[in-house]
Amino acid sequence: MNALITSLDTAKGLTKFGEDPLWVVIVKAVLIFVLLVLLTLFNIWWERRVVARMQHRIGPNVHGPFGLLQSLADGVKLALKEDILPKAADKAVYFIAPVIAVIPAFLTFSVIPFGPEVNFFGHETPLQLTDMPVAVLFVMAIASIGIYGIVLGGWSSGSTYSLLGGLRSSAQMISYEVSMGLALVAVFLYAGSMSTSEIVAAQDKLWFGLILAPSFVIYVISMIGETNRAPFDLPEAEGELVGGFHTEYSSLKFALFFLAEYINMATVSALATTLFLGGWHAPFWIDEFWAGANEGYWPFLWFMGKVLFFIFIFIWLRGSLPRLRYDQFMHFGWKRLIPISLGWIIAVATIRTINLNGGFDRTYLYGAIGVLAALMIVLFFVGESSSDDAVEETEAPFDAFAGGYPVPPMPVSTSSTTGARSTNEDGGAS
């Protein structure tokens, strides 16, 4: 019965979409495109200024006031650079790969709610292009298509380094999309809908980032790994892969990959804002003493402020943390984030079921959530050290010259303490 009521309410809430005149849809789409391009230019400038300040440098300060036009100047420079086509490249795929990467980045914003219903040039319409009952799944599906652009870009270049960078990037993005998707299940259970506008409406009193804190933390970690940003920027390892999948790209095609990366940052930040921080609702519950805080175009400012908060987290981490080793990074995703996400989903589903069937004292509810969170943290930090100790106790000392050639130890092996050369089977020195 509860599920039926929820589905009817959701259907009723979605009836306001799909009824706009064609000119309103076109204007909304153009405004979203312009917003994302301007946001990309601003984010590049902001990242360079913030990292420069963290490193006691000045950063861009010449072109325009405070250097705000530096990103535009860099874009013009990329457009005017020579467009190089490698001899071994597959021409058709080489040209289409950047387009495949950047188009899904724009499409994901079609279901992001920027605000409530407003007077849009004399027409009452939601400050959102469209919505659907499975809008969040639509975002995840469209965003995953961008992986094809990266893989095809690395393969079509005809370079070994680009191919390895593309494969490494695809494995990373697929792995962390799993944990990201699992982090959203708890939100679906509490909101009773996968529609972005309905999820925002369900947070009018209390944000899901507070009551579903473990999901929020897992999502934030996963979104950094899924967008290939530091300290998880493994596809662009200068030591072994140069620039990764876009090593052989230049001019505007390289700019498209660059644009896709920064728009993907905005996409995951907007999704985090929508699902965990109340979307366009006023922060710090300003609406309690200001009646118009969630009316008109003010909610758009609250939404963009929250998105920029997440963008700042991206920049802050890039200027603070070193890059992880690739095997550590994949181990972290598959053996830590995904099991913890599954355990948390079971706990949330259990608590939600009990709550809907009569419930119990909220004091015990919050206590149980606290115990589960503490248990997950303990398993998170203790499990790795105990497994490493067990490996060190059971394995024999590693000899790098045992096979006749010097071979570096694997991460699970222990290095030899003798430091002496061994003798191979023929009796000669290795």
DSSP letters for 341-388: HHHHHHHHHHHHHHHHTT---HHHHHHHHHHHHHHHHHHHHHHHHHHH
Q: Is 151 contained in some domain? A: yes
Q: State residue 365's pLDDT score.
A: 63
Query: What letter represents residue 378's amino acid?
Result: V
CA dist 234 and 332 (Å) reads 14
**Residue 205 placed within a domain:** yes
300 within a domain of the structure (yes/no): yes
Determine the structural domain holding residue 264 and report its residue range: 76-339
Candidates 408, 409, 413; CA nearest to 396 is: 413
Identify the pLDDT of residue 299: 92
What per-residue confidence (pLDDT) applies to 411? 62
Choose among 116, 106, 110, 120: nearest CA to 23: 120
Distance CA 430, CA 424 (A): 6
> Please, which residues have CB within 8 angstroms of residue 122's CB and are 6 or more apart in sequence?
none
pLDDT at 97: 92
Task: Count CA within 13 A, CB hemisphere, residue 392.
Answer: 10
How much is the pLDDT for 381? 65
Domain-located, residue 242:
yes
The per-residue pLDDT for 79 is 87
267: closest CA among 168, 135, 150, 399?
135
CB-CB neighbours of 360 under 10 Å: 12
CA atoms within 13 A of residue 301's CA, in its CB half-sphere = 7
**pLDDT tens series, the chain, 430 aa:** 344 344 434 445 677 787 888 999 999 999 999 999 999 999 999 999 999 999 999 989 888 888 999 999 998 998 888 888 888 888 899 999 999 999 999 999 999 999 898 888 888 889 999 999 999 999 989 988 888 888 898 899 888 888 888 888 888 888 888 899 999 999 999 898 999 999 999 998 889 998 889 999 999 999 998 888 888 887 776 666 667 788 888 888 889 988 998 999 999 999 999 999 999 998 887 877 888 888 889 999 999 999 999 999 999 998 888 888 888 888 888 888 899 999 889 888 888 887 777 666 666 666 766 776 777 677 666 655 555 554 445 556 667 666 666 666 666 544 444 444 444 444 444 3
The pLDDT of residue 426 is 45
Does residue 226 fall inside a structural domain?
A: yes
Amino acid at 18: G
The answer to the question of residue 310 being in a domain is yes
Q: For residue 224, which of 101, 345, 320, 106 has the smallest C-alpha distance?
A: 320
In a domain, 275, yes or no: yes
Residue 213 C-alpha from the chain's centroid: 17
Q: What is the pLDDT of residue 362?
A: 62
Total number of domains in the chain: 1
Cα–Cα distance between 124 and 52 in angstroms, integer? 44
Answer yes or no: is 191 within a domain. yes
